[in-house]
Structure 1
């Protein structure tokens, strides 16, 4: 498994995300993910399945030190009275003493970024997470977060797939030493059906989905894969035995379009770069 390094964090470049998955789905698929070789798992308070992931990981017998576990604090917990308590609740559900990476899930103007970052630093200093980061921040917010934080911001988790050009954010992150974690890599089902990705995949003996994940990895991103079907898990992780050519990478890059963004919830989404 390829590792992405950022400010001392060593993050497995391919993670397994459980967004929009029921408890039953999580508990059915996580054992298959572990069997296939996944060790990086990504959840969030807002997904409402931290407890299911915690149960599945605890029951697996896999050593805690071999796992990289990420969760995210939801925006309604950013207040001074609730932030640390919400993290404690997440840890209880996940059945761990600390997570490896704790993120602010979305930016909000209801709590100043300086206060959000201060609370992240406080829970990190208290030993409740090894590393801290942000999610869904634009360049200005990410730059401000990095400048304000005593502990390094190690990632910005953002939507990234072939139909959305995130090169500007990625370049700004690189300049700050911040990694990019890519979610929604399948573009809500568009990727597996894409003729170009299928054509490139056929040449490599791979699926369109594997091509898209490999493309994200070769861009230097951390990629979150997801499936609720245990029989599909092995396909998701089988992306380290081939490489896309420079021409492949360039052709995939041509798929980006101005309306390619899929995740932009009103009231949460910032002014995107």
Structure 2
């Protein structure tokens, strides 16, 4: 990981810490499906300094994300681009086809990280990772990842994949800290990545988070993102407006002391914002 940024200046791309080459603050694109807003937001984020963009087959916006990357002045090779294969396409042949479709939709020749979106429906550890391993060997993706796995499923995935599982994406924020999942992820040398890092807006107005934010003169979003970074977790908050993109990006300059970090550690309430019936914790 690189050194943390300091000072009040707006962070640059080089100020963003990296976890084994992956920028620890990225742009999430869930629900960004407007044909004008999504590409503009992606291009704005990249020009602001973001170098990590996350999308998914299920979001229905891979082509729009690709348009945004193309519009920006940032070279594709400088962008860490991740997408995910949906549950119904996790059989071997379907996964291979879906991955090729994804890079076509994105308008790129490969992605930097390809995730299993959920361990559900057609997911089969043997066949799914046989496909993902082939996709690495064929150059469709540089890395493979998992998302929404429970601790025991992480070990099974590691055992079945020939290539290293690089990252595990799961919901994580002050109200859902996922200690067991984080521990299992890190024990296997996998990078943790938090989606919904602002708890779908629930961090705003939260007494403790707001108190810490007020002490620093920053937003609650910045506090949540800084806490995740300090705890070694990459965050991919969704944002579409320039103001929200800038506010999230400014979190790279926020330094929380150990007392503040511990106050946030005490907020864990096991509160999920994303809880589908097929979630492995519901089985």
Whether contact under 8 Å (2:47, 2:74) holds in the other structure is no
Deviation at 1:212, TM superposition (A): 0.2
1:264 is aligned, of 259, 272, 275, to 275
The residue that corresponds to 1:12 in the other structure is 23
1:248 is aligned, of 260, 263, 277, to 260
Q: Does 1:3 align with 2:18?
A: yes
Give 3-state SS (helix, strand or coil) of 2:104's partner: helix
The residue that corresponds to 1:40 in the other structure is 52
CA distance in 2, matches of 1:109, 1:136: 13
The residue that corresponds to 2:12 in the other structure is none
Q: TM-score, normalised by structure 2?
A: 0.91
Whether contact under 8 Å (2:87, 2:121) holds in the other structure is no
2:37 is aligned, of 25, 31, 37, to 25
Q: Give the count of matched residue pairs.
A: 267
The residue that corresponds to 1:148 in the other structure is 160
CA distance in 1, matches of 2:61, 2:174: 28
Whether contact under 8 Å (2:86, 2:117) holds in the other structure is yes
Q: Does 1:157 align with 2:169?
A: yes
Give 3-state SS (helix, strand or coil) of 1:99's partner: coil
Give 3-state SS (helix, strand or coil) of 2:112's partner: strand
CA distance in 1, matches of 2:87, 2:120: 7
**Which 10-residue stretch deviates more, 195-204 or 128-137?**
195-204
2:246 is aligned, of 234, 245, 248, to 234
**CA RMSD of the aligned region, Å?**
1.4
Give 3-state SS (helix, strand or coil) of 1:33's partner: helix
Whether contact under 8 Å (1:28, 1:230) holds in the other structure is no
The residue that corresponds to 2:208 in the other structure is 196
Q: TM-score, normalised by structure 1?
A: 0.94
- Note the alpha carbon deviations across 1:170-223, whole angstroms, 9 max, x for none: 111111101100000111111122121111011122111100000011110110
Unaligned runs of 5+ in 1: none
Give 3-state SS (helix, strand or coil) of 1:193's partner: coil
Deviation at 1:109, TM superposition (A): 5.2
The residue that corresponds to 2:103 in the other structure is 91
CA distance in 2, matches of 1:86, 1:71: 11
From the superposition, tell whether residues 12 and 272 of structure 1 become closer, same or farther in structure 2 (CA, over 3 Å): farther
Unaligned runs of 5+ in 2: 1-15
- Structure 2 matches for 1:64-143, cutoff 5 A? 64-108=76-120, 110-143=122-155
From the superposition, tell whether residues 272 and 217 of structure 1 become closer, same or farther in structure 2 (CA, over 3 Å): farther
- Note the alpha carbon deviations across 1:68-106, whole angstroms, 9 max, x for none: 000000011112332111111110111110000000000
Structure with the bigger percentage of strand: 1
CA distance in 2, matches of 1:175, 1:272: 24
CA distance in 1, matches of 2:17, 2:132: 27
CA distance in 2, matches of 1:271, 1:209: 27
From the superposition, tell whether residues 63 and 253 of structure 1 become closer, same or farther in structure 2 (CA, over 3 Å): same
Whether contact under 8 Å (2:87, 2:119) holds in the other structure is yes
